[in-house]
Structures are given as structure tokens and as C-alpha cells.
Amino acid sequence: MRLNSSVRHTRTPNYLPSLKDSILREVRNATMSLLDRGA
């Protein structure tokens, strides 16, 4: 909750949070597939 309010205070454009979420999701998926391969 604190993070959301601080993000609003910085006045970031609306597309940034969703872009960040998309990147984090991609990184998480890549990490999980690497772990699945046993790397």
C-alpha cells in the first residue's frame, strides 16, 4: 500500500507501472524456465 502511494506522489506516467509489471513477469518466467532446466 505504501509503495502505491509513493508511486502516485512521483507522478509517473500511467504506462510505466504496467510496463514494469510486464518486465518483471517476463523475468520471473525466464528464471522459472531456467530453474526447470536445472541451470
Q: Specify the 3-state DSSP secondary structure of 10.
A: coil
- Give the residue ranges of the chain where pLDDT is below 70: 1-15, 39
**For the whole model, what pTM was predicted?**
0.47
Q: Is 17:7 a contact under the CB 8 Å cutoff?
A: yes
C-alpha–C-alpha distance, residues 32 and 39, integer Å: 10
pLDDT given for residue 3 in this prediction: 56
pLDDT given for residue 8 in this prediction: 57
C-alpha–C-alpha distance, residues 12 and 29, integer Å: 26
pLDDT given for residue 23 in this prediction: 92
* Domains of the chain by residue range: 2-37
Query: To which H or E segment does residue 13 belong?
Result: none
pLDDT given for residue 24 in this prediction: 93
pLDDT given for residue 17 in this prediction: 76
In degrees, to the nearest 5, what angle opens at C-alpha 13 toward C-alphas 12 and 17?
75
